[in-house]
Amino acid sequence: MPATIDDWRLHGQERYLEGAKLHRARYRKPDGEWEHDHCEFCWEPFVEDGGRDDLHEGYTTAGEDRWICPRCFHDFEERFGWVVAKSR
């Protein structure tokens, strides 16, 4: 179900994610020190290795510095006008 205007997950992401070009990818930690990232909306962690309930893939920006889980992607895709590029 698409999110409502007062959804608790919204906190100004339109400043940097409105109209963004995203691609679906498997999460890879950027370097040895960095262990995880979070969904920009629900704050669920993305991890490279972990249990089956952990997030291992989702939608990300070109530089892979912003991650969105599949559920939040679905809920906010229309509102933010995202363009999905082919996976790398």
1: its two tokens: 């179900």
Phi, psi of 15 (to 5 degrees): -60, -30
User: Are 57 and 49 spatial neighbours (Cβ–Cβ below 8 Å)?
Assistant: no
User: Are 66 and 16 spatial neighbours (Cβ–Cβ below 8 Å)?
Assistant: yes
Q: Give pLDDT tens digits for 31-72.
A: 778 889 999 999 999 998 877 778 999 999 999 999 999 999
Q: What's the rounded Cα separation, in Å, for the pair 70 and 22?
A: 12
Stated pTM of the model: 0.88
SS3 state of residue 18:
coil
